Structure 1
């Protein structure tokens, strides 16, 4: 890994941009913190401040009924100023992506060595990354755990990878689904294709021990594990708060009859969880792509998604820049995502503030947003499979594929 003047300029510029906005434009930061595209009931910094207020006065942070995050975050923000924390997380994520890109080697003949500084710059100056940081979305902690797990696995450091993944699971649960691709990354780093049984058992042991330790720390912080589990994990599993967001769950469960609610919650969760096994089995030779695709699917199908999830997906996606010539709908996907990004806030304003629209306005544009991401995910999946097929059958390179 190289670290030159360009890299220093990128990281210094990104840090300066964030700290300038935090300290010199506080009204902008406060405005972004309230936006539904950035803050969700499970990641809102305003809700975290409510929990911190109660915690500092010796009251359970879950008494108010609005705080649904891990209590360890209360300790972090009780010690460190928020601007420095969020800026540092972005820089740490970018550093992890740079390190991964600099050391990445893929089997595809189309693959060419990556410039880690460009990958880091694309992540740090992505508008979605900047908005997530300035909006103080606590999903950034989960993103940090995922990037650190991927980085450690690629360096064949299984204990560190499992510990990082356990931290992400402790915060928001869904990183649990990334355990299979992380095992594949570790196996690839050690020179094999699939992990051995001993490696899997050892990794799961590390994961379970780290997760139990993190959950157990709740006793030291709040003194009540049960309320934490109900308010954090139970909240995410049962989705009781239907505050509008950029996901697909809130509108559906607003309209569904209560008698069918539990059934469809199970269906939605099974739908999201089902991708992990299928992608891991089919693309076990491409663990980086499995990880990247799962991040994109989480950004579409999790109960409380935000642009922070999409920013991480866009951070990993350039690792597969070599498949761009094989994609078919890049322009359509980019256009749809840009279109919905601009109209989403406008439609929400028309509904909530201007009173000249209704919930269908905002939900329609979130459907378009999810459609754009789905097109991008599906198109990249096709490109990777096509690349794999051309490696196996070189005589078919460049020929059209038609479904009969």
Structure 2
């Protein structure tokens, strides 16, 4: 025991990622019954070096080990009396959503966006709780209301597979079996809802009236999105091509983000919600408030953000200019659509900068967890991180 204790102290003083560095970086430090994986000489984040049998990095038998960063929030919430700060952040997210001015505006406007947000929130809750059936049902209900929540399916699959310790490997039969089960529950629930709609209405006219309307964008009424002005000025023979280009933005980022964030499906849900709020055909301020409610959950990334002041000023200025320019354009007649659309472009650009900034901060923090807060070059000088 003395030799093992000495080897641990020597290893902790040798490598740059010390216990104190990891504790400062990871704000959601679990209770004493769980231990985060340590950095090993092989550069991995497991408790022992898989390539060496005589490695001093041995797991402690009395302390269970979290083998993945993404499963730590789930494991440390198994005991209600030992909830870490991660769980308290969800209550902060609730207050952030309810007190958000965008949420208040959508309620004042009597928008149905609140119902869509409620269904998506129930889907997230069922997924985090590990209930695959309810997760598939609420995802089908959200897709039934709008097509874009379909992109959340990948994040739900990743989280549920990690919850049930199913390896995320396309060559494993268990992987495809779980995907088939979830797809069957999701498609079955969606078909039941569509069938009930046909039974109540007596025709299939609701399909082009709902989904066809969302995809073809026939109404170019001004909103906070990117579609209306562009397609109002578009020549008719170019419309189909640019319609496909604009709509594919909601779905094309799902695959690369799922590959990059396969160990962090909750953050993947946040990214997909933000992308849908930016690139959907008819966005509202209620969609913006939904993904902004996740920002308190990622408060530990604030120290790595780079464009907070710029994004905050842009969004505040655009939020104030929207009603002013609308009044000058529609009622006073002293402005035109270019002023309003310019404000829309700046508002969406600020959202894109916000999402990219959080993505950069998340990747940088994960890098620091492995290599330490102050990485060094081979010659001993301080290294500079560059996101490629």
TM-score over 0.5 (shorter chain)? yes
Q: Partners in 1 of 2:153 and 2:334 — Cα distance?
A: 46
SS at match of 1:244: coil
Q: Partners in 2 of 1:115 and 1:174 — Cα distance?
A: 27
Q: Which residue of 2 aligns with 1:313?
A: 291
Aligned to 1:323, which of 295, 301, 316?
301
- Tell me whether 1:401 sits opposite 2:385 in the alignment: yes
Query: What CA deviation, in whole Å up to 9, does each residue of 1:300-324 have, x standing for no partner?
Result: 1110000010010111222111111
Q: Are the aligned partners of 1:156 and 1:187 in contact in 2 as well (CA < 8 Å)?
A: no
Q: Which residue of 1 aligns with 2:149?
A: 175
Q: Which residue of 2 aligns with 1:8?
A: none
Q: Are the aligned partners of 1:244 and 1:251 in contact in 2 as well (CA < 8 Å)?
A: yes
Structure 1 104/377 Cα, relative in aligned 2: closer, same or farther at 3 Å?
farther
- Tell me whether 1:160 sits opposite 2:134 in the alignment: yes
SS at match of 1:304: coil
Structure 1 403/233 Cα, relative in aligned 2: closer, same or farther at 3 Å?
closer
TM-aligned CA deviation for residue 299 of structure 1: 1.2
Q: Partners in 1 of 2:337 and 2:275 — Cα distance?
A: 24
Q: Which residue of 1 aligns with 2:64?
A: none
Structure 1 222/207 Cα, relative in aligned 2: closer, same or farther at 3 Å?
same
Gaps of 5+ in 2: 1-72, 169-173, 376-381
TM-aligned CA deviation for residue 395 of structure 1: 6.2
Q: Which residue of 2 aligns with 1:211?
A: 190
Q: Which residue of 2 aligns with 1:392?
A: 370
Q: Which residue of 2 aligns with 1:367?
A: 345
TM-aligned CA deviation for residue 115 of structure 1: 3.9
Query: What CA deviation, in whole Å up to 9, does each residue of 1:236-273 have, x standing for no partner?
Result: 11000000000000000111110000011011111221
Query: What CA deviation, in whole Å up to 9, does each residue of 1:157-209 have, x standing for no partner?
Result: 10100100000000011111110011112123324563822111100000000
TM-aligned CA deviation for residue 277 of structure 1: 1.2
Q: Which residue of 2 aligns with 1:4?
A: none
Q: Partners in 1 of 2:167 and 2:292 — Cα distance?
A: 26
Q: Are the aligned partners of 1:155 and 1:189 in contact in 2 as well (CA < 8 Å)?
A: no
Greater RCO structure (CA 8 Å; 6+ sep) = 2
Q: Partners in 1 of 2:274 and 2:352 — Cα distance?
A: 8
Q: Partners in 2 of 1:191 and 1:150 — Cα distance?
A: 19
Q: Partners in 2 of 1:151 and 1:197 — Cα distance?
A: 24
Aligned to 2:175, which of 188, 192, 196?
196
Structure 1 103/354 Cα, relative in aligned 2: closer, same or farther at 3 Å?
farther
Residues paired across the two proteins, number: 300
Q: Partners in 1 of 2:78 and 2:101 — Cα distance?
A: 25
Q: Which residue of 1 aligns with 2:202?
A: 223
Q: Are the aligned partners of 1:168 and 1:175 in contact in 2 as well (CA < 8 Å)?
A: yes
Query: What CA deviation, in whole Å up to 9, does each residue of 1:217-245 have, x standing for no partner?
Result: 112221112x1001001111100000000
> Which structure has the highest helix share of the two?
1
* Aligned-CA RMSD value: 2.4
Q: Are the aligned partners of 1:253 and 1:261 in contact in 2 as well (CA < 8 Å)?
A: yes
Query: What CA deviation, in whole Å up to 9, does each residue of 1:45-100 have, x standing for no partner?
Result: xxxxxxxxxxxxxxxxxxxxxxxxxxxxxxxxxxxxxxxxxxxxxxxxxxxxxx99
Q: Which residue of 2 aligns with 1:80?
A: none
Q: Which residue of 1 aligns with 2:314?
A: 336
Runs of 4+ aligned residues of structure 1 deviating over 6 Å after TM superposition are none
TM-aligned CA deviation for residue 103 of structure 1: 4.7
Which entry has the higher C-alpha Rg, 1 or 2? 2
Q: Which residue of 2 aligns with 1:271?
A: 249
Q: Which residue of 2 aligns with 1:120?
A: 94
